[in-house]
Structure 1
């Protein structure tokens, strides 16, 4: 039942609330959309209440409030060529980052995902900051999660191993990997030059376990999926080099093989139990097109 509906530059449909009820309930009753479409519009920040973007499905509506529903479901406040929002709720935000951007600041002027998100939170009038939960190297692309408050960040930090149940990366590696799959396990430690090196025996470093599965191969390169059992610094890059098949484009641990002029490592699956609600959260991004084209 559309009341006082009017169009504004074709972007939003506008409504006025008649009686108090939770937002999701109102949306399901008043929009001719399926439950999954309604939730996607909410998560995609396509709903405004009194002009302010709301993603909370149980947001309490009062009579007289104005609701704006985006027709495009596109977020008009989030614009970045380096970061794409995949999911957002009031506790956390999941993004896909491009290669070439840091996860967090290192030095005064470096552009990074955290500052891009902080800027977006400010523009969308959310009283929160992005708290770093885990990192990806500057030249690695793919999925990351940031907490929106310290409590959520602390749960992630202290219960990471219990919360995160699947993290997978895909990489183009140098040479033909003959094995279908396997596991690399050893100790990783940084030397004084901050280069991580591995040891088959305990060298005072951290024990690291990586499982791999070969997805495609040519005589020159292989497309390999890496699944992390532990999350150590540079783990995949060092373990890939340990296999004799370093990640392509890796200036630090590679062999100079650089077919795509980038580090060919992408975090493409991230699954975790929501730190506050306990709900299973499963995210997957496509394998980068440039990676796939090498194995046509």
Structure 2
């Protein structure tokens, strides 16, 4: 049974922030922290994705909070405003592009089930506050459960310019992955030909030239006998590339059941887009954006 908890908390303009001091399940923690609200009201806040644990959106009532974690609750008034961004923050914006930091749990684009709580939809609402004709276009994607830096274009022309010369424009694209087990080599690379099955599972083909060529470079940052933190540089940007290649290495990404993981101790996928550096599509200026490595990745791999 989880222990009772104490919290230290502070308020900022649109959020309540709590630091967990003792282990507790999430719903009881929220009910105690927001004792002025009804149980149904608190459950609604959870369901709407207004609760963030460290760097990921959490909607599970029985998620177990650990001491030291930070719980952020976006206030209701902010959440219903069109201008409020849930599960993301804007790092940079000009007339051509928007760069965001996305949290794990937020979809990049709409699916059959979820149309509105996506990065694209929220940014579309954001730019239309200035002019109803404004639009936003997807340049590249991050999986729902991957956090980190992501870029969008504000016109079809800029989107095409970025995509058509992606390899030339992007100077650095660095991820960090929390993986299972102890990675043996300090650094190395994985090269394979990726194919996708009818069930949308990506895998490395045993035959050369059979599929899309994918190259992943990795460097060990820290490890213990259970987990390793690796820095990953993509030479190619194929679907699920890091996840497949880490499985090939024998060290699947934590929380990645689809690609061989047996653990989910951080309540999310252990993949984070840390750095995106590129030449601005209009000015040519070199821009570099960094999203800090999630705390849970660092503590688990110490």
| Same fold, judged at TM 0.5 (above) | yes
Corresponding residue number in structure 2 for 1:271 = 277
The correspondence of residues 1-296 of structure 1 with structure 2, limited to 5 A, is 78-107=83-112, 109-110=114-115, 111-125=117-131, 127-202=133-208, 204-296=210-302
Structure 2 stretches lacking a partner, 5+ long: 1-12, 14-80
Q: Closer, same or farther in 2 for the Cα pair 1:217/1:98, shift >3 Å?
A: same
Kept after mapping to 1: 8 A contact 2:177/2:231: yes
What is the rounded CA distance, in whole Å, between the counterparts of 1:109 and 1:216 in structure 2?
A: 37
Kept after mapping to 1: 8 A contact 2:153/2:159: yes
Question: CA shift at 1:246, angstroms?
Answer: 0.3
Structure 1 stretches lacking a partner, 5+ long: 1-10, 12-75
When the two structures are superposed, what TM-score results if normalisation uses the length of structure 1? 0.72
Kept after mapping to 2: 8 A contact 1:248/1:254: no
- Specify the structure having the higher radius of gyration (Cα): 1
What is the rounded CA distance, in whole Å, between the counterparts of 1:126 and 1:87 in structure 2?
A: 21
When the two structures are superposed, what TM-score results if normalisation uses the length of structure 2? 0.70
Number of residues of Structure 1 aligned to a counterpart in Structure 2: 222
Question: CA shift at 1:200, angstroms?
Answer: 4.6
3-state SS of 1:107 partner: coil
